[in-house]
Structure 1
Amino acid sequence: MQTILGSGGAIGVELAKALKEYTSQIRLVSRNPKKVNKTDEIFSADLLNASEVNEAVKGSTTVYVAVGFPYNLKIWKENWPQFTSSVIDACIMHNCKLVFFDNIYMYDSNYLNGMDEQTPINPPSKKGKIRAEIANMILSKIKEGKLTALIARSADFYGPGIKNTSMLTETVFKPLSIGKKANWMASLNYKHSFTYTPDAGKATALLGNNEKAYNQVWHLPTAENPFTGKEWINAIAKEMDVKPKTQTATKFIVKILGLFIPLMREMPEMMYQYDRDYVFNSDKFTDNFDFKVTPYLTGIREIIASDYSNKKAS
């Protein structure tokens, strides 16, 4: 049995699709889980309840963490360490391998141009400190020999069917699709990598089913040579056949946008990711596995075909 904790989000759904290549025994766990594949087992659980996490994990060979708690610092402080501790304990108790889907908030802000698995850990934000804490919880148990696990890290992500959890969706795709200005934080002139969610799902499933991948950190496959902010907006507008109307969002504007877009309320401390090149290196993965990474333009076209083909900008 391979179990996904947090199965209803953008990554969980893509992961469930990808896992069917490796097994027909997939358990989807969330408060209100829904099947992705016909043979999926659904398991309703409160993932902040340690006993329910334990029951959800029981009988699994591999447990994937694809949870996305609300993007709020207070909630992250309360939920992430508690949840991570419960998952680690359950995996150790039931002798399950753990695959933890992670981001890059813990990396030193001076090393974002070409960041890889060896990038220094020095979180520049409060959210980053939480991510560093929970990653260290996992890595320390691996080092102690008590846990078999891997951490799979993604850049900011984009993909079809994402609701309210992708910056690129909220600030570029959605506004351009209804004739409004795209909003790009800090500066339009810096490169910014995005990981395509179907690629992330497939790659996470591949790692989870490959023994040699464990007890390591991996960057999930992400297209090389990312666009600058201006190039992202121009490319998306061109594929939508709309004008690339643009507004650069200062911290003040981001705070105003937060009144209307919940995701933006938490972004002022994260703006450092947009005032310098943010280039994600996944060479370790592509050097070790035969994997075709989705080019950026292909990803853009697939998102528009999936989510915006019936919308017209006014």
Structure 2
Amino acid sequence: MPRSVRPGYICIKKIMQTILGSGSAIGNLLAKELKNFTNHIRLVARKPVKVNADDELFPADLLDKEKVEMAVKGSDVVYLTVGLPYNTRVWEWDWPVIMHNVVSACLKSNARLVFLDNVYMYSADEIPRMTETSPLQPPSRKGRVRTQIQQIMLDAIADRGLQGLIARSADFYGPSVANSPLAITVLDEFRKGKKAFWQVDDSKLHAFTYVPDAARALAMLGNTEDCYGEIWHLPTSSEKLTGKEFITKVAAELKCKPDYYVFKRWMMKLVGIFVPIVRELGEMSYQYDRDYAFDSSKFENRFSYNPVSYAEGIREMVQASV
């Protein structure tokens, strides 16, 4: 994919593009990618840190409506990439407030909104063949939150004139992605000299989105006028690998034995009594007891984009962890 700005993009170098929830792996890479489209980038977080030398920093809590309005003021494109603690109660309380605040601020400033979403709202039966048109029937509380906040945004697009798009990703992986399931359960464990582990069933296929691909795609979508008003899956390799094959590939890059165990659902329930994060993961375990296939052909065809292969992505992930 050429790095230069192509015909059809809406941006000129003077317009303001703002990242709400900067500082994460996706936020940092997105800030770098946006330099291809603008010289005016604003990073918003509780404690924002510059990525590019000329970034504008704006400290703000996205739960504060007035602060969000101030953060968004003057923006032409706003990217909502914030990540909340992986806690259902926090999600149920904070996410609707954040989405209402951001939508209101974007409408007030006439800014376009790009929302980075996940796949939790899809029906469990759709996990083996997820597309942008998959039915929404979330089997989890977290999924119901994602459905709720998506609807807030879609209603604003339909009824209030918001210009927005939703970009969905499979599970993240890649260099410096601390919360990637592939890093936490495999790479980090091998690095500690321990056995890796996989949730529920290592024979099932699973898709992962390479974070640099996701960041580049977000910048492209946000700067392409005819992409607004739609839902997009971010570019993700169509290779079909099982949990066991992912573990083997990571071990090969580390030059270690691919020793691992399967973290069964009953084990998660038991450990979850004492470890809150395991309890939180438990309700999402259905994503590992069946094939998990994420179709991003809509984006790839629109932009003639080839996602990074798993071999290359895992190599970069491992090298960045050295």
TM-score range, shorter chain: over 0.9
- RMSD of aligned Cα (Å): 1.4
Q: Which residue of 2 aligns with 1:185?
A: 199
Structure 1 residue 254 and structure 2 residue 268: aligned?
yes
Structure 1 residue 78 and structure 2 residue 93: aligned?
yes
Question: Using the alignment, how far apart are the partners of 2:128 and 2:94 within structure 1?
Answer: 30
> Which of 139, 157, 174 is equivalent to 2:188?
174
Long gaps (5+) in structure 2: 1-15
Query: Runs ≥4 in structure 1, deviation > 2 angstroms?
Result: 251-265
> Which of 211, 227, 234 is equivalent to 1:220?
234
Matches within 5 A, 1:74-153: 74-153=89-168
Structure 1 residue 11 and structure 2 residue 17: aligned?
no
Question: Using the alignment, how far apart are the partners of 1:206 and 1:255 within structure 2?
Answer: 41
SS in 1 for 2:207: coil
Q: Which residue of 1 aligns with 2:225?
A: 211
Deviations 1:168-220 (Å, cap 9, x if unpaired)?
11111100122111111110110000000000000000000000110000000
SS in 2 for 1:302: helix
Question: Using the alignment, how far apart are the partners of 2:35 and 2:276 within structure 1?
Answer: 34
Deviations 1:73-123 (Å, cap 9, x if unpaired)?
010011000000000000001100000000000000001112100100000
Matches within 5 A, 1:153-168: 153-163=168-178, 165-168=179-182
> Does structure 2 conserve the Cα–Cα contact (< 8 Å) formed by 1:179 and 1:242?
no
Long gaps (5+) in structure 1: 310-314
> Does structure 2 conserve the Cα–Cα contact (< 8 Å) formed by 1:171 and 1:182?
yes
Assess, with a 3 A threshold, how the Cα gap between structure 1 residues 22 and 259 changes in structure 2: closer, same or farther: farther
> Per-residue deviation at 1:262?
6.2
Alignment TM-score, normalising by the size of structure 1: 0.95
Question: Using the alignment, how far apart are the partners of 2:112 and 2:214 within structure 1?
Answer: 19
Question: Using the alignment, how far apart are the partners of 1:181 and 1:265 within structure 2?
Answer: 21
Alignment TM-score, normalising by the size of structure 2: 0.93
Q: Which residue of 1 aligns with 2:305?
A: 291
Structure 1 residue 61 and structure 2 residue 73: aligned?
no
Question: Using the alignment, how far apart are the partners of 1:260 and 1:168 within structure 2?
Answer: 23
